[in-house]
Structure 1
């Protein structure tokens, strides 16, 4: 990687414009989950400890270039001050940011300005006047070519923040230069949302494990009749093409060999374990809601033979027992291998993170990405504008 980090920058006496993602959940005027704020603390503290001052630039919601009072970042100030254990000055305008002399300053929602999402060069130049160094610590916004995520890196000395650095190093280790054999779990509901991801992964992986509703589409493509199971008939040909490509590239694809089948979806409903394959025929009112015990055994055995594992998406309807078993059991096995030093595990995506926390496995994974869209686009092999700009600025 060719981008710079904070270690490469002289911060003494400098104001550092730090692009962060503190787009946190808020209810009744209070932040309900400060995780994203906690993630930026190492960068802020590092800059301050080395004599720099911090100007935080962030978005909140989708105001579409207009001032929307309900989307003001002012609401985050108490949570920021609590996490950082210091006063944070909030300013609404560029003039206010320029005049502020405090160590930590938060600028109002950058998306209130139409020039932000348009990546207007003139707007980026205005932003650049506010500081001497640009630090991007918002990997989750790196797939957007906006003024504060891409434009600024071309105008001033630039580097990655600590969170961005950790994310990029983890993804580099997982996919760009992984310890092999490398495998991935790709689950979730729909093939249609992950076509590019699958097409990219089968060129780079040794093992691809497909689960969740996605697996139903692949099984149906092979001839299985799956009743009212979630699947996408329009993408069965796509599934066949992905399987063909995997065969050509030497990527072994693991699909469920059995599944938990029920006639209704709910906690504790009766179910049967059914063998899954091209010859499977379910009743019209039956649906597959989770992978079965033989599938779990095949997946955990595959994990045992890997050096690196990437995870995106659950293997079943993990929110409700008893259809959470495949996701929970395999996640815990991967976590145990990681703790034993036998496996590098990198996971990302909203449902994935939620499932890993439910399994009690998240803390034992090597790296958990909280960046949804950016994580997926990286896995799809796409160039992320925010990352490319940092590389170009070196």
Structure 2
């Protein structure tokens, strides 16, 4: 286990550089950002702890993909303003990442101050994991806290090289992520169900392979179910699938049939003649999908079957919506799953980040989930058993 800020004594006026993940969709405008504030809220315990210890808090994050160049639309001030609202405390958004004026401003700040540096990815040295940029960044602070689980799979200057220049520790969010994700991988209670959705099988191959020895049930929905259905010889019409993953899907179906893992695919589906928001839809048995149809959601029989298994489970790992969630009429299958989770008080449930976390937030059931991860790709890599550079760079206890 890595050393956490909860393990150390931090003196007043310590300048603490905190890597957070505030990568919100700035292009939507300030009014829409509140819909995506989950990552900000999850960072608050670390920030508040440091403020209580009378530190000077220097937050740093990226947003978007400016590729080492300043883009006015990707400045972080709207995010700083939203964080200020959530904290009910002033957050000073700075106009650049590293320069002497910023250093002077931070050094003269009163204890308990909170700063947000400008977008890290305006600097070409960030994604290059550049030594000089990391040195300049480290000159702003006395210690470093890694609290951005969502970028732990990236070897960047603010996630890896920075730890060579400052004493470094886990933040409370990163500690929570590791604890909860490790629990479902190392000490899950049975029956253990994995629910996999979203578009691509290829994104989750290593996760599934890592889970197979541990789980009792594997429920597959979303676009990735189409690849499995195609591998079984079912007609999927014009639905998205991955031809390169057909062999894997066929092999997995055979493997699970011999291993005792209960693998389930949709038995019915909601289909439409167009891919998009449409009232032109029908529910059909999975062997009745026409050659021109798009599979848009799991059907009601499948939702009941999956929900029954979830209600009987003690551990659930969920990654990926059950339908094309961006269209409200195809959220029904995902909503049925969330209701099953909320009705099982004995369930330890962990939701992978990305679109699944957004679905949970939008449907208002985050409070019923044991842990909603802030990581998308980082969650998948961790659950696959990969070592994440941003975690490995931190010192171990003892």
Q: 2:272 & 2:227 partners in 1: Cα distance?
A: 18
Distance 1:221 1:248 in 2: 18
User: How many residues align structurally?
Assistant: 386
Residues 1:353 and 2:370 are matched in the alignment: no
State the distance in 2 between where 1:134 and 1:195 align. Answer: 34
The one of 64, 70, 75 aligned to 2:67: 64
Q: 1:155 to 1:245 in 2, by over 3 A?
A: farther
Q: 2:100 aligns with which of 89, 95, 101?
A: 95
Q: 1:292 to 1:37 in 2, by over 3 A?
A: closer
1:48 Cα deviation (Å)?
1.4
How far off its partner does 1:297 sit?
2.6
Q: Select between 143-152 and 116-125 the one with higher mean Cα deviation.
A: 116-125
- Residue of structure 1 in register with 2:9 after alignment: 10
Alpha-carbon distance, 1:146 to partner: 0.8
User: Cα gap change, 1:314/1:75 in structure 2, threshold over 3 Å: closer, same or farther?
Assistant: closer
Question: Residues 152-185 of structure 1: CA distance to partner in whole angstroms, max 9, x if unpaired?
Answer: 2243322221222222222112223322332211
Separation (CA, whole Å) in 2 of partners of 1:354 and 1:153: 31
Tell me the SS of whatever aligns to 1:352: helix
Shift of residue 320 of structure 1?
A: 4.3
C-alpha contact (below 8 Å) 2:3/2:396 kept by paired residues = no
Distance 1:55 1:305, change over 3 A: same
1:75 CA drift (Å): 4.0
CA distance in 2, matches of 1:105, 1:32: 23
Secondary structure class of the residue paired with 1:149: coil
Q: Which residue of 1 aligns with 2:183?
A: 173
Pair 1:383 & 2:384 matched: no
Asked whether the 8 Å contact 2:168–2:395 carries over to 1, the reply is no
| 1:313 to 1:160, Cα distance in 2 relative to 1, 3 A | same
Q: Find the counterpart in structure 2 of residue 19 from structure 1.
A: 19
Aligned to 1:152, the other structure's residue is in SS state: helix
Alpha-carbon deviation of 1:95? 2.0
Q: Distance in 2 between matches of 1:361 and 1:293?
A: 20
Corresponding residue SS for 2:215 = coil
Q: TM-score w.r.t. structure 2 length?
A: 0.87
Find the aligned partners of 2:151 and 2:3 in 1 and give their Cα distance.
18
Task: Flag structure 1 segments of 5+ consecutive residues without an equivalent.
Answer: none
Which has the higher mean CA deviation after the structures are superposed, 299-308 or 198-207? 198-207
Return the match for 1:44 from 38, 44, 47: 47
How far does residue 133 in structure 1 lie from its aligned partner after superposition? 1.5
Higher mean C-alpha deviation, range 105-114 or range 182-191: 105-114
Counterpart CA distance in 2 for 1:180 and 1:29 is 44
Mark the CA change 1:77 to 1:225 in structure 2 (over 3 Å): closer, same or farther. Answer: closer
Is the Cα–Cα contact under 8 Å of residues 149 and 374 in structure 2 kept in the other structure?
Answer: no
Retained in 1: the 8 A contact 2:272–2:280?
yes
1:106 paired residue among 116, 125, 128: 116
What SS class does the counterpart of residue 148 from structure 1 fall into?
Answer: coil
Deviates more, 1:191-200 or 1:53-62: 191-200
The Cα offsets for residues 93-128 of structure 1, whole Å up to 9 and x where unpaired, read as 342343222222222222222222111233323322
Alignment partner of 1:222 is 2:225: no
Three-state SS of the structure 2 residue aligned to 1:33 is: helix
DSSP-derived class of the 1:371 partner: coil
Label 1:137 to 1:246 Cα distance change in 2 as closer, same or farther (>3 A). same
What's the offset of the Cα at 1:136?
0.9
CA gap of 1:27–1:145, structure 2 versus 1, over 3 A, is: closer
2:30 matched residue in structure 1 = 30
Shift of 1:87: 3.1
**Correspondent of 1:288 among 285, 295, 299:** 295
Please give the secondary structure, in 1, of the residue aligned with 2:159.
Answer: helix
Deviation at 1:319, TM superposition (A): 4.3
What residue in structure 1 maps to residue 169 of structure 2? 159
Provide the TM-score with structure 1 as the length reference: 0.88
Which residue in 1 is equivalent to 2:347? Answer: 343
1:326 matched to which residue of 2? 333
Matches of 1:336 and 1:172 in 2, distance apart? 24
Counterpart pick for 2:88 among 69, 85, 88: 85
Of residues 55, 58, 77, the one that matches 1:55 is: 58
- How far apart in 2 are the matches of 1:204 and 1:391? 29
Is the Cα contact below 8 Å between 1:154 and 1:393 reproduced in 2?
A: no
Distance 1:105 1:283 in 2: 57
Deviation at 1:366, TM superposition (A): 1.1
